[in-house]
Amino acid sequence: MNGPVLLVIAHGSRDPRHAATVQALVRRAGALRPGARVETAFLDFNLPSVTGVLDRLAADGVRDVVALPLLLTRAFHAKADIPAVLRQAPPSLRIRQAEVLGPSPLLISAVERRLYEAGLTPGDKSATGVVLASAGSTDPEAIAVIAETARELRRTGWCSVRPAFASASLPRTEDAVRALRTDPGVRRVAVAPYVIAPGRLPDRIAAGASEADVLADVLGPSPELAALLMERYDGAVRASSRMAAAV
């Protein structure tokens, strides 16, 4: 085994598409690092649980783990839920929590990939408004990151980009679609779900996109997202090595 075990921690969902998509993404990420041990766990609804995987790793004699939150922003789950469950790990495990996935240029590339797969082309950018539709959060830091991600997406050449949220925050997807219709130069409107896997909130985003011209897919097991998982893993390993060297 090369390096610490990578434990990818997803939220979980009653929708079976969620776990299947997460597993496909983690498999794709693991294929980028032959020889590394990569595990998946869920905070809720799905198995294996985080505590179950941590107990199994300890029983296998593993000592070092990088816990990677499968989250696009650093909101409540990354700040509270995941640290709390990691504190329940067997004492023999040394665990470092990696950074969440966003923000990252790779996420912008993944969003654009899904828009192109939905039928748009780079030549459509200058006349297309995009709704960047996320799950939503009550955390101001997370909302600010989504807003900045929308601005970064706009800088790649789209006519206009507006953030929207399926819960907790406003505007809703349908309201952002209607607002984009009034933006100068916008001749078509596309909705880009800024979510990793299918589920209740992504379905709400899709319902809110009924008046849009284009609806892209969730980010899912895109190559950009798989590469980003390993980028965050490597960053955590380097940080851990620097801390050890400083002691």
pLDDT digits (tens, 9 = 90+) for 29-53: 999 999 999 999 999 999 999 999 9
User: Longest C-alpha distance within the chain, in Å?
Assistant: 61
Which two tokens mark 1? 């085994």
Pair 205, 191: CB distance under 8 Å: yes
Cα(145)–Cα(65) distance, rounded to whole angstroms?
A: 27
- The reported pLDDT for the residue numbered 112 is 98
Pair 205, 166: CB distance under 8 Å: yes
Q: How many CB atoms lie within 10 A of CB 238?
A: 10
pLDDT digits (tens, 9 = 90+) for 207-220: 999 999 999 999 99
The pLDDT-based confidence of 75 (bands split at 50, 70, 90) is confident
Q: Say if residue 241's pLDDT is above 90.
A: no
Pair 144, 177: CB distance under 8 Å: no
- The reported pLDDT for the residue numbered 111 is 98
* Alpha helices, DSSP H, located in the chain: 16-31, 50-59, 76, 82-86, 105-117, 140-154, 173-180, 200-208, 223-246
- The reported pLDDT for the residue numbered 2 is 73
Q: What is this structure's pTM?
A: 0.95
Angle, vertex CA 107, rays to CA 103 and CA 110, nearest 5? 175
